[in-house]
């Protein structure tokens, strides 16, 4: 339960169903009918639901793979810059000496 003070100083108890989360607002924006059915407690039933879940899992795995590759690419770039800086410093030492 949430407590909320009103302007008159009286407290009103808010039920969980009175409060919208950011996720629910996004769901409403995507499909207001589906949001309302979910809010009323109706569970979706569709043979395509499992296919959609598997597609989301597969997409998540693909995104995770890309994120790993991006991390490797960044570290490779950092290592390349360090090698170039080291080579440049060694060159300067050779020229100075």
Per-10-residue mean pLDDT, the chain, length 97? 54 70 86 85 81 89 94 97 97 90
pLDDT of residue 1: 46
φ, ψ dihedrals at 24, nearest 5°? -65, -35
Whole-model pTM over 0.75: no
Is 2:13 a contact under the CB 8 Å cutoff? yes
């Amino acid at each position: 339960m949430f407590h909320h003070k009103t302007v008159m100083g009286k407290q009103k108890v808010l039920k969980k169903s009175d409060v919208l989360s950011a996720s629910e607002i996004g769901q409403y924006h995507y499909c207001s009918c589906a949001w309302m059915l979910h809010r009323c407690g109706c569970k979706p039933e569709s043979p395509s639901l499992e296919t959609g879940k598997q597609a989301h899992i597969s997409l998540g795995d693909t995104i995770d793979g890309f994120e790993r590759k991006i991390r490797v690419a960044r570290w490779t770039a950092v290592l390349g810059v360090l090698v170039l800086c080291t080579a440049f410093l060694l060159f300067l030492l050779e020229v100075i000496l």
